[in-house]
Chains A and B, each alone.
Chain A
Amino acid sequence: MTDGDGVREDPGDTPPSPERTGRWLTAVAITLAVGSVGVYFGRPSLLLAAVVALAYTAYPLVTAELAPSLTLVRAVDDASPAHGETVTVTVTVTNTGSRTAPDVRFADGVPPKLAVTEGTPRRAVALRPGESATVSYSVEATPGTHRFGPAAVTCYDRSGAARVETELKAGTGSDLSDEANELGGTDGADRTDEPAGVPAVSTLECSVPVEGVPSPRETLRATGWTAVDTGGSGVAFHRTREYRPGDPADRIDWRRYARTGALTTVEFRPDRRRSVVVCLDARPRSVRRAGDREADAVTTGGAAAAALATTFLDRGARVGVARIGPRFELVAPDDGRHHRERVTALLTALPEESTAAFDGENAGTEPTTTTGGSATPSASATEFAAQVDEVLERTSGAAEVVTVTPLLDEFGLDAVRRGAERGRGVAALSPDVTSDESLGAELAGVERRNRIEALRSMGVPVGNWRPGDAVRWSRTDGGVRRDGR
């Protein structure tokens, strides 16, 4: 029904055309009603009253044309909050046009996974040219990368008969609103003090601290194999071969030449770096949360997985990502800046909106999908297991698999077992979304602890992670628990 599109308001763009609300048709009705009574009974006073109502029907014609020009600036008091911390967001809308905007109503695009704990992100205001209006609200941070959406703005003209609906992305601050940007206290990482233009705040980064990663020896314990020290970069001698013209001089084995007079070249084995696949359980059954203010296991698990993947990359490993769920995606282990961003984006994507139809194991089976991009949704337990198999098949035998799953059902156990059976290094990181708020939640907690214990007794390193803490890996020593769990 809208004439306007979701177009960013820019002074340079043509503004979307206003939409009529037709509210002053009521004045038409009043005119007709009062006028006809006046005619029927011959009361000139009523006829004149009808004239007044008639004038109101002409009201929208005399109001100024609706062509608002607005900019939005968003500031936060901490762009890198800790878990559970309250972040105050301040949004300023400025009228950069030459005409008064008599009725501006906007609602800020709060990140989809965050809840507003104080204040309201909405405001209605009349703005003269150059005037600004501010709204402040607070959100509680949960682990992950939270992106603000554009603010939804509806502008009406003075009579209320025409409206324009647009979206405003947070843009750079102009000189007029520099004061609005200067919130006292710590700045987020995104802001500097340039007068010419302040970069927009559009993300809240609540990072997960990681206190270490399991070593290859530990991940291979479950398979019963002895780990060969393959970790770390470096070169190792491989073989010598006959010299070919063009080989670099520093690769020639001079000692042999001195001994035998034959020219030979040394070849080195290519780098054997550690390779890890972080496998995120993003199935609909895992989209559960502990309490009202908590985020669900897939969102927080994704944040922890991203932090873990980044830690692996920082230590020189090659990292791949798999996302098990209705939209299956797999990225092979690699490294590099671009790859790092891709990995993080895939892990922190929002859980798919799914309905109860996906939850049960009775949903119809559909063929498993391949990597990348959109996919046909697959829904039953066997399909998810098949996805795990695909991950194991398509990544090389040396790649270790770290499964990130809340362990609310047997999937995590099953996936780790499959990996161990194939002789792959395995580890598990489990976000705790159970609570003691209901009998079902307590039961889920007991079951989860059982599964963690089952994994640990297999020798798999398990990170029992509660959102807000750092990611730690338990130490088991021949079956004796040191962590008490």
Chain B
Amino acid sequence: MDGDRSPDAGPAFPGSAVAVVAALGAMVLLATDPLGFAVVAVGGAGAGTLLLGGYLRFRGRRLVGLLALTTGLATVIVAVGLATVYPAGWVTRVSLALGTVGPGVLAVALVPLRRSWAGRLVGFATALLVGAVAVRGFLSGVDRVSLLVALVGVVAWDAADHAVGLGADVGRGAVTASVSATHLVGSLSVGVVAVVAAVGLYAIGPSSVPLVSVVALLAAVLALLGALAVDHLPARDSVDLEP
């Protein structure tokens, strides 16, 4: 349409890169053996190429960008395929598959495949990552890697969501590295503090815990969650049902 010179409002590039890197980092932490690392690495290469394709297309190199996009997508699909035929139990395979699909979907969301879907796809990718963490935690319940994975996973979601909003507000052409960096520093510090505290808790907590205590703990957690969540609710008098 003539005269439509609004900026490209896809997710900002620095934040997107951080998000994909963090998501991959979480998956790397979850992998246990060299083969698993390899699968995650393939998925990571695919996701990275996808992002690169999006960037090239933004810069005007449409042909090369399209090439990178197709290559990246193919690589991600290959990685997911590898994960499904991984020589291990089906639970491990599910975890690995989720771990490759997650960053892949995140990268696709941040390309963006479709600007109106970006937010929703980021949420879906986060759900996949959380699923991968949960399954992995189910497999081996007593290692501390889960803490780090949670940290990195939340950082990934945070960076992705922030990048989507940033791009929508100021467009991809604007320089946003400093804002993304400041935001990242904030989330990382909170996460590090949380991990340290959790490790401390872990050291204290015994392996056999009485039931009533656990119930009380759970109740405490829920109550605290409620208290915190209430703070997040925006002040609105009427609920809009429009996303």
Is there contact, CB below 8 Å, between B232 and A33? no
Is there contact, CB below 8 Å, between B171 and A28? no
Q: Report B143-165 CB contacts with A as 1/0, cut-off 8 Å.
A: 11111011101100110011001
Among listed B64-72, B80-88, B100-108, B129-137, interface-contacting one: B129-137
Known A105-B166, A123-B170, A126-B179; judge A52-B144 contact (CB<8 A): no
The interface residues of chain A lying within 8 Å CB-to-CB of B143 are 45
Contact partner of B236 (CB less than 8 A), chosen from A1, A60, A107, is A1
Known A43-B141, A48-B202, A120-B7; judge A55-B190 contact (CB<8 A): yes
- Most chain A beta carbons < 10 A, residue from B3, B174, B181, B205: B174
Indicate if A213 sits at the interface (CB-CB under 8 A). Answer: no
Contact partner of B173 (CB less than 8 A), chosen from A50, A55, A120, A160, is A120
Q: How far is the CA of A160 from the CA of B164 in the complex (A)?
A: 12
Is there contact, CB below 8 Å, between B229 and A56? no
Contact partner of B193 (CB less than 8 A), chosen from A25, A39, A55, is A55
Q: How far is the CA of A270 from the CA of B205 in the complex (A)?
A: 104
Residues of chain A from 401 to 434 with CB closer than 8 A to chain B in the complex: none
Contact partner of A21 (CB less than 8 A), chosen from B149, B179, B197, B234, is B234
Residues of chain A from 14 to 31 with CB closer than 8 A to chain B in the complex: 19-28, 30-31
Known A54-B221, A54-B225; judge A44-B173 contact (CB<8 A): no
Is there contact, CB below 8 Å, between B170 and A26? no
Q: How far is the CA of A41 from the CA of B149 in the complex (A)?
A: 18
Is there contact, CB below 8 Å, between B147 and A120? no
Known A23-B161, A42-B141, A57-B232; judge A124-B179 contact (CB<8 A): yes
**Which residue of the partner chain A has the closest CB to B228?**
A57
> Distance in Å from the Cβ of A58 to the closest Cβ of chain B?
6
**Size of chain B's interface in residues, with CB distance under 8 A?**
71
Is there contact, CB below 8 Å, between B169 and A26? no
Residues of chain B from 1 to 19 with CB closer than 8 A to chain A in the complex: 2-3, 5, 7, 12
> Distance in Å from the Cβ of A349 to the closest Cβ of chain B?
21
Contact partner of B3 (CB less than 8 A), chosen from A38, A45, A115, is A115
Known A48-B198, A49-B133, A56-B190; judge A160-B144 contact (CB<8 A): no
**Which residue of the partner chain A has the closest CB to B185?**
A158
Is there contact, CB below 8 Å, between B186 and A159? yes
Contact partner of B186 (CB less than 8 A), chosen from A25, A31, A63, is A63
Known A44-B142, A46-B146, A52-B194; judge A125-B179 contact (CB<8 A): yes
Is there contact, CB below 8 Å, between A28 and B229? yes
Q: How far is the CA of A50 from the CA of B165 in the complex (A)?
A: 26
Contact partner of B183 (CB less than 8 A), chosen from A27, A37, A102, is A102
Is there contact, CB below 8 Å, between B170 and A51? no
- How many chain A residues sit at the interface, stated as a range, is 35 or more
The interface residues of chain B lying within 8 Å CB-to-CB of A32 are 225
Contact partner of B147 (CB less than 8 A), chosen from A23, A42, A52, A102, is A52
Indicate if A34 sits at the interface (CB-CB under 8 A). Answer: yes
Q: How far is the CA of A28 from the CA of B221 in the complex (A)?
A: 11
Q: How far is the CA of A103 from the CA of B195 in the complex (A)?
A: 26
Q: Report A89-131 CB contacts with B as 1/0, cut-off 8 Å.
A: 0000000000000111101000000011000101111100000
Indicate if A194 sits at the interface (CB-CB under 8 A). Answer: no
> Distance in Å from the Cβ of A1 to the closest Cβ of chain B?
7
Q: Report B200-243 CB contacts with A as 1/0, cut-off 8 Å.
A: 01100101000000100010010011001101111110001000
Q: How far is the CA of A103 from the CA of B187 in the complex (A)?
A: 14
Indicate if A59 sits at the interface (CB-CB under 8 A). Answer: yes
> Distance in Å from the Cβ of B4 to the closest Cβ of chain A?
10
**Which residue of the partner chain B has the closest CB to A158?**
B186
Is there contact, CB below 8 Å, between B130 and A51? no
Known A124-B169, A161-B232; judge A57-B225 contact (CB<8 A): yes
The interface residues of chain A lying within 8 Å CB-to-CB of B153 are 30
Known A25-B229, A55-B197; judge A19-B234 contact (CB<8 A): yes
Known A37-B134, A61-B228, A120-B173; judge A160-B162 contact (CB<8 A): yes
The interface residues of chain B lying within 8 Å CB-to-CB of A26 are 123, 126, 157, 161
Known A20-B234, A44-B205, A46-B137; judge A158-B221 contact (CB<8 A): no
Indicate if B38 sits at the interface (CB-CB under 8 A). Answer: no
Known A19-B235, A124-B170; judge A103-B183 contact (CB<8 A): yes
Contact partner of A22 (CB less than 8 A), chosen from B146, B149, B233, B240, is B233
The interface residues of chain B lying within 8 Å CB-to-CB of A179 are none
- Most chain A beta carbons < 10 A, residue from B137, B138, B178, B235: B137
The interface residues of chain B lying within 8 Å CB-to-CB of A55 are 190-191, 193-194, 197-198
Indicate if A3 sits at the interface (CB-CB under 8 A). Answer: yes
> Distance in Å from the Cβ of B10 to the closest Cβ of chain A?
14
Known A34-B150, A52-B150; judge A57-B229 contact (CB<8 A): yes
The interface residues of chain B lying within 8 Å CB-to-CB of A104 are 179
Q: How far is the CA of A46 from the CA of B150 in the complex (A)?
A: 9
Known A52-B194, A120-B174, A160-B165; judge A34-B134 contact (CB<8 A): yes
> Distance in Å from the Cβ of B13 to the closest Cβ of chain A?
12
Q: How far is the CA of A431 from the CA of B187 in the complex (A)?
A: 58
Q: How far is the CA of A158 from the CA of B182 in the complex (A)?
A: 7
Q: How far is the CA of A50 from the CA of B138 in the complex (A)?
A: 14
Interface pairs (25), CB distance under 8 Å: A19-B234, A20-B232, A20-B233, A20-B235, A26-B157, A28-B229, A30-B153, A34-B150, A37-B138, A44-B142, A44-B207, A45-B142, A48-B144, A48-B146, A48-B198, A48-B201, A52-B154, A57-B225, A105-B166, A115-B3, A116-B5, A123-B175, A124-B179, A154-B169, A161-B232
Which 8 residue pairs across A and B have the least CB separation, nearest first? A43-B141, A55-B194, A49-B150, A46-B137, A122-B170, A45-B146, A20-B234, A52-B150
6 new A-B pairs (CB below 8 Å) besides A30-B130, A54-B225, A124-B176? A23-B161, A41-B138, A46-B138, A46-B141, A51-B198, A57-B232
